[in-house]
Amino acid sequence: MKILQFGRTGQVATALRAAAQGRSEIIALSRADCDLADPERLRATILAADCDLVVNAAAFTQVDPAEAAPEAAFAVNARAPAAMAAACAERGLPFAHLSTDAVFDGRTDRAYVETDRAEPINVYGRSKLAGEQAVLAHPRTVVLRISWVFSRYGRNYVSFMLKLARERETLKVVADQFGTPTDGEALADFLVATAPRWAAAPADDPAFGLFHFANAGETSRFDFAKAAIDRDPMTKARLEPTTQAAFAEPAPRPPRSPLDTAKLRAVFGFSPEAWRPAVERTADRLVSTGLAG
């Protein structure tokens, strides 16, 4: 399998390159290689590529800065993937795109399913929803909504909490925001393993469309952090629960956005691991390699 990947240094992009070793050939492009704000450049890159699948692992993921820079967020999260999907359709290539739980407003008493109405409450969520809608207008496109991604790679919630817990005596963590963490390395492995199916599948195959991908179970930001920090013997911080309102962040967050993955299991036979052992394993790896410090 030859995979053209937009995004090279981000968390999921790095995990994808690691997962592909010995299994698939990945051509990973950074923003320096291909400007995401240039739709014609994106089109030309895809039309010229020798590949079986295109994966978009690039995004404007900074939720608070997006509030002050909506044009930049929409350029990367909406217009760029729209151009990618259109070019893939032009060539008859399958296209895999990553989205987010932030397309929901968080006013729910159950896990969200793919058919639930998306009503984002911040610029980041609105830009990602626009990207979803644009790419799903094209055939042979799959969108995977993910949430609270963590891995051994890059700066993410697990690595950041481990670092802070070594530096501070007291660490205040939001306890009134709930969701489903996503193991970025399991996501990368799934994408690489499923690439041959997408490459061979016709447009009406159920493997295309919108899916939720997250670990099993729901948790709070507080318990998410605690599960990681408890694995580090060098932790000195005492965790204290706090509220989202206490942080007064520029962008509002959905208070509860767990993702239901039943459709993923039904179509692909993939059963996500429970979130806690996945977080603990990642924290153990970070601590053992000194990356938590």
What is the per-residue pLDDT across 26-78, written as a single tens digit (0 to 9) for each? 999 998 999 999 999 999 999 999 999 999 999 999 999 999 999 999 999 99
Instruction: State the CB neighbour count (10 A cutoff) for residue 234.
Output: 10
What is the per-residue pLDDT across 95-131, written as a single tens digit (0 to 9) for each? 999 999 999 999 999 999 999 999 999 999 999 999 9
Contact predicate 123/154, CB 8 Å: no
pLDDT at position 293 is 46
- 112: three-class secondary structure by DSSP: strand
Catalytic residues: 124
C-alpha angle 245/248/250, rounded to 5°?
A: 130
What DSSP element (H or E) covers 132?
helix 123-135
Kindly list the structural domains of the chain, giving each domain's residue range(s) and its CATH number in brackets, ordered by start: 2-155+181-217+256-273 (3.40.50.720)
Instruction: State the CB neighbour count (10 A cutoff) for residue 154.
Output: 16
What's at 217, amino acid-wise?
A: G
